[in-house]
Amino acid sequence: MIGSQELLIIFGLIVLLFGASKLPELARSMGTSMGEFKKAQKESEVSLKNFEKSLSDPTAPKKTKLQETAEKLGIDVRGKTEDQLLDEIQRVGERPKEVSQP
């Protein structure tokens, strides 16, 4: 652990090396660097947690928005490519709507 005497010596050396006018700029750049480092660290932790979460449940298939849209339209999505799904969605969209008569 660094004591108070060692901190004073380090601070004195910094003042001699950089000068008193450069200290605020130096402190600001160090603060910015530490902030960016902590931000990157948090992002990597979130990324790691998401990766671990995806590994823990490999049976749950991820559905694309295209597959979700096709299912909402009543189209079976099993074993179909995205192009096939797009064609079927387009066909469903082109069908004339049935009007119920009273």
pLDDT of residue 40: 95
Q: Which residues, other chains included, contact 65 with Cβ-Cβ below 8 Å and sequence gap of 6+?
A: none
Instruction: Tell me which amino acid residue 61 is.
Output: P
pLDDT of residue 2: 80
Per the model's pLDDT, the better-predicted residue between 31 and 79 turns out to be 31
Q: Which tokens belong to 40?
A: 């990157």
Per the model's pLDDT, the better-predicted residue between 41 and 50 turns out to be 41
Per the model's pLDDT, the better-predicted residue between 57 and 45 turns out to be 45
> Average pLDDT in the 27-55 region?
91
Q: What's the rounded Cα separation, in Å, for the pair 41 and 35?
A: 10
Q: What's the rounded Cα separation, in Å, for the pair 89 and 93?
A: 6
pLDDT of residue 101: 63
pLDDT at 59 over 70: no
Per the model's pLDDT, the better-predicted residue between 57 and 66 turns out to be 66
CA 89 to chain centre: 30
Q: What's the rounded Cα separation, in Å, for the pair 71 and 59?
A: 19
